[in-house]
Amino acid sequence: MREALNSALDEEMSADPKVFLMGEEVGEYQGAYKISKGLLEKYGPERVLDTPITEAGFAGIGVGAAYYGLKPVVEFMTFNFSMQAIDHIINSAAKSNYMSAGQMSVPIVFRGPNGAAAGVGAQHSQCYASWYASCPGLKVLSPYSSEDARGLLKAAIRDPDPVVFLENELLYGESFPVSDEVLDSSFCLPIGKAKIERKGKDVTITAFSKMVGYALKAAEILEKEGIDAEVINLRSIRPLDRSTINASVRKTNRLITVEEGASVVEESFAYLDAPVERIAGADIPMPYAANLERMAVPQVEDIVRAAKRACYRVVPLAAAA
């Protein structure tokens, strides 16, 4: 995943001199997560800019540069600290195209790790997918695999609108198989299109980012018990690929959503044979202790239990508690 993001940045910077990267430690230190490794040496300090620890400052500079016609990629060391820059992201970047009647595009990408990692406490563990997905004017992407990371980051950089690109720290070191097509410099994924990672007929499981992997593991467990789960990798949170989700639910008649919300009740209620199950983190600040941290974040077994409930399979009371 780390190499996929790095190669996408490298190729887009090579193809378009208007693309530049800025953020804390992206240059001399090669990136806090080594996503920008080698880019300073290749493109120089005018296009790979180390910034002070002031998200409000460098996000504002990035938005101003986008107004001018450049294509900034702004890295937040964690999206928790994007709250320092929220006025620039929402009031300046997201709304300018509409408020200028289309005269002012803002081609900027805000990227970095989002959601729970491991042992980093409440200040570094919040998932902001639903926050940003509720803001008109933004596009919100969240990759699961190396293919997602490479194809979606390229799409985000090329897009004329502001994009919030939510990565996951725990996925940076994960490896995924990729095809020759994905490695081609012209490879790009469409924004707003989900991917069916696993076909099934009994229950639909939607997820994004790290939770896609959990959903796939849950599907393997369910298969052994005679439940055929379809797993959808959302990829794009805003715009949401409602047609793919609804088509799946109208086939399986059941939905487990491992994320922050669902629109299926509005559009496919008549097809549901069971209530929609929503798997999300506990409604508390993230604990630091490892045992409590695990209990606060959705786990594979939570998805398995929810799928069994939706398919009317008996779940022991102790397991459901």
Torsional class of 175: left (φ above 0), alpha (ψ -120 to 50), beta (otherwise): beta
**pLDDT of res. 260:** 46
**Boundaries of CATH 3.40.50.970 in the chain?**
1-183
**Boundaries of CATH 3.40.50.920 in the chain?**
195-312
In the CATH scheme, what architecture does the domain 195-312 have? Answer: 3-Layer(aba) Sandwich (3.40)
Structural tokens at position 138 = 């933004």
- Burial degree of 149 (CB within 10 A; 0-12, 13-18, 19+): buried
**How far is 160 from 171, CA to CA, in rounded Å?**
27
User: 208 and 112 in contact (C-beta within 8 Å)?
Assistant: no
pLDDT tens per residue, the chain (321 residues)? 999 999 999 999 999 999 999 999 999 999 999 999 999 999 999 999 999 999 999 999 999 999 999 999 999 999 999 999 999 999 999 999 999 998 999 999 999 999 877 777 777 878 899 899 999 999 999 999 999 999 999 999 999 999 999 999 999 999 999 999 999 999 999 999 999 999 999 999 999 999 999 999 999 999 999 999 999 999 999 999 999 999 999 999 999 999 644 567 778 888 889 988 888 888 778 888 888 888 888 899 999 999 999 998 876 555 444
**How far is 231 from 256, CA to CA, in rounded Å?**
9
Q: Catalytic residue numbers?
A: 55, 124
Count CB neighbours of 37 within 10 A.
17
Q: Is the dihedral angle over the CA atoms 1, 81, 154, 298 positive or is it negative?
A: positive
Count CB neighbours of 196 within 10 A.
14
CATH 1.20.1560.10 fits 1-183, yes or no: no
DSSP class of 32: T
Q: Is the dihedral angle over the CA atoms 84, 44, 183, 193 positive or is it negative?
A: positive
Q: Is the dihedral angle over the CA atoms 207, 283, 263, 278 positive or is it negative?
A: positive
DSSP SS3 for 13: helix
DSSP SS3 for 109: strand
pTM of structure: 0.90
**How far is 202 from 219, CA to CA, in rounded Å?**
11
